[in-house]
Amino acid sequence: MSDPRVDIPVWTAPWPVRPGEEFMRVSAAHLRGDDRWECPAQIAAKARPSHRPERDPQLRIVYPPHASFPLGLVRDAAMRVLAQGIDAEVALAGVISDTNGEVPDAMREVASTALAGYLTTIEQLRESGELPAQTVVREFFAVDEAIGDAPRVEWSGWGVLHVAQDSTVREFHVLTWDDAGRRERSDAYVAVYARVAAEAVARSEGQPWHVSWQPAPAQPRAGTTVRVREIGLLDASHALLYDAPIDEALAAFGEAVSGNLHVLGGGVYNPGSRCASCSYRWDCPGVARLPGVLGVAGVSTWTRAVSPHDLVSSRVCTWQTHLLRDLGLPRVRRESSAAMLRGIAVHAWLEAAHGRLMGCTPDDLPVPTEGVGDVAESLGWSREHYAALRPYLLQHLHVCPLTRTDVIAAYPEHTLTAWDTDVDVVASTRTDLVVEFPEGVVVRETKTVAEAAVGGTAAEVFERYPQVALSLCLVADGLDPVTGAVRAPRAARIELELLSTDGYEVRTFDAADASTVLAARAVIADGVDRILYSEPTPNPGSWCTWCPVSTWCVARQTAVIELDDAPVQESAAGPSRVALLSYAETAVIVDDDIPF
């Protein structure tokens, strides 16, 4: 049998740590290979759970009062049902009882629905013969024991591993909310699941996370086949990701994971909203600290993350923000308007085009009868889809910032993040484009609209597009939009590019203009204050049509709503028209996935 051992990069902790047992624990999620979202510094630290930061004992760490990972409740309850043979609702009640933090009714409903969905899918797989009729479910892992200078390495996957009673077939279930098989999974990610299934070392119960896992007294016999299957808990979807003999899975492991192991060496920081829940944020030099940048007095009751979408949604319904951001409930796919889909598509084209680090030209946008152009072709656009979007993209040619000959560097889809340590909130926004010129830096946001001329004062623009206001505040207070570090402010401007079918406009805001920055900070402070200090309250209305979590909202289920009314029509008791327009433009489909 092949030796699946691999060479893992050495990690030097960027902060003081308390020495502990020398071992590593590598999860499949560590090797997903999603460079846009993953933080190598965080992954490298999490893969060494015994190396805990050396901190001032006076440091006060406050955790949220409620649980925030409903998928974890489902998985733990499923393990109890399958391993102990107890009733599903009894198992879920036991898990909730053991959970740190309260579990609100909405979260309980989500977990109960998802648990029932998983158990139903299992029965269907058994009836069809795709899953053995009798399986053993335990906590399993794989291990490379220490040899010489190489430390012990434990490999794990998050989900439910089924081992047939005769041990021949091992099937690992990767749990997700819906659309199983639709998301791209890296070879390394799947290979770790396959290896854990192949070796399937049952571990002893009750061991602390920061010590190495020890095998249980009873172990499965040798097996023959491993499978990795993704299962959608809310829509009964499932997809087979891997199916091979055990020897083949072990032989392929090293090559499959080799391209993603570099993250285990750390050395690179990728700050974002995840910093708010990262246990290393107090010690990490990677997240910029900008006390007072959000303009809010007082301290959050726990460290929170805030995005422009949170600022927008909370103006319409603070309950939605609570269900999504605080409780982490899954988004249920909703119908998207033509305007939403148009904006997503245009942004995808611009990201791909600007990723070439060259200006957009008419050659990129041929007439539809002659083709769709290289960029649209790379996105898989049909001729009809391209023809519908081409008028907006043609307007962009007039204002593409990369057509200048003195561009130093360009960064499409670039994240700006800072931790306001005064209020204990991590603010993060993903900008469409950052461009460095000799005279300074430009941060560009692009929007497709019905009419290019938005008009209004700077404050009105900031209310409609809070991502522009947030970028302006961060940069004005010293966040370098290129490096993400804090430095002496340099010349910078935030631009809002508006594209319609027959026109364009670029609104420019100077980060050195104190009155403009003050107007932006007032908009941001108002939104953050609402999120932090207002009691979350349901606000049912026609806008519930676009709410991604209305399925879990009791107020929405019981309210009488005239859905014939357009969601952006202002009412006396509802949000302002500007708030609704802003909400409509940001109510886009976002993928949910396991967050570790």
pLDDT in tens, 79-99: 999 999 999 999 999 999 999
Residue 335: DSSP 8-state:
P
pLDDT at 330 over 90: yes
Q: State mean pLDDT over 522-529.
A: 96
pLDDT at 502 over 60: yes
- Output the pLDDT for position 574: 67
Contact 363, 374 (CB under 8 A): no
- Output the pLDDT for position 60: 79
pLDDT band at 389 (very low <50, low <70, confident <90, very high): very high
pLDDT at 591 over 50: no
pLDDT band at 545 (very low <50, low <70, confident <90, very high): confident
pLDDT at 577 over 70: no
pLDDT band at 590 (very low <50, low <70, confident <90, very high): very low
Q: State mean pLDDT over 419-432.
A: 97
Tens digit of each residue's pLDDT (9 = 90 or more) over 196-224: 999 999 999 989 999 999 999 999 999 99
| Calculated CA dihedral for residues 353, 359, 362, 363, nearest 10 degrees | -70
C-alpha–C-alpha distance, residues 131 and 110, integer Å: 25
- Output the pLDDT for position 587: 56
On average, the pLDDT of the chain sits at: 92
- Output the pLDDT for position 488: 87
- Output the pLDDT for position 586: 62
Exposure b/e, 351-378, CB count within 10 A at least 16 = b: bbbbeeeebbeeebbeebeeebbebbee
Beta strands 225-232 and 160-164 are unpaired
By CB neighbour count within 10 A (0-12 exposed, 13-18 middle, 19+ buried), where does 41 fall? buried
- Output the pLDDT for position 575: 74
pLDDT at 565 over 70: no
Single-letter residue type at 118: Y
Exposure b/e, 141-166, CB count within 10 A at least 16 = b: bbbbeeeeeebbbbbbbbbbbbbbee
CA–CA–CA angle 238, 239, 241 (5° rounding): 145
- Output the pLDDT for position 56: 84
- Output the pLDDT for position 190: 98
Q: State mean pLDDT over 160-179.
A: 97
Q: State mean pLDDT over 136-150.
A: 93
Beta strands 425-437 and 409-420 are antiparallel
Q: If you write DSSP's letter for every residue of 408-464 in order, what string do you get? A: -EEEEEEEEEEEETTTTEEEEEEEEEEEEETTEEEEEEEEE-SSS---S-HHHHHHH
Residue 397: DSSP 8-state:
T
The CATH number fitting domain 273-335+405-586, selected from 1.10.1200, 3.30.70, 3.90.320, 3.30.2170: 3.90.320
pLDDT at 407 over 70: yes
User: Of residues 546 and 476, which shows the higher confidence score?
Assistant: 476
| Cα Dmax for the chain | 73
Q: 581, 351, 575, 543: which is closest to 466 by C-alpha?
A: 581
Q: State mean pLDDT over 35-59.
A: 91
Domain spans of the chain, in order of start: 22-54+63-265, 273-335+405-586, 338-403
H or E element: which one contains 375? helix 373-378
Sequence-ordered list of residues with C-beta below 8 angstroms from that of 298, at least 6 positions apart, any chain: 423, 532, 533
Strand partners of residue 414 = 431
Q: What is the crossing angle of helices 577-586 and 308-316, to 10°? A: 130
Contact 59, 282 (CB under 8 A): yes
Contact 131, 173 (CB under 8 A): no
Sequence-ordered list of residues with C-beta below 8 angstroms from that of 342, at least 6 positions apart, any chain: 388, 389, 392, 448
- Percent of the chain having pLDDT more than 70? 93
pLDDT at 596 over 50: no
pLDDT at 305 over 90: yes
Tens digit of each residue's pLDDT (9 = 90 or more) over 233-268: 999 999 999 999 999 999 999 999 999 999 999 999
Q: State mean pLDDT over 405-428.
A: 96
Strand, coil or helix: 495: strand
Q: 285, 328, 284: which is closest to 305 by C-alpha?
A: 328
- Output the pLDDT for position 170: 98
**pTM over the 0.85 mark:** yes
pLDDT at 289 over 50: yes
C-alpha–C-alpha distance, residues 294 and 305, integer Å: 12
- Output the pLDDT for position 433: 97
C-alpha–C-alpha distance, residues 51 and 49, integer Å: 5
pLDDT at 562 over 70: no
H or E element: which one contains 5? none
Contact 423, 300 (CB under 8 A): yes
Q: 39, 36, 13, 27: which is closest to 263 by C-alpha?
A: 39
pLDDT at 594 over 50: no
Q: State mean pLDDT over 275-290.
A: 94
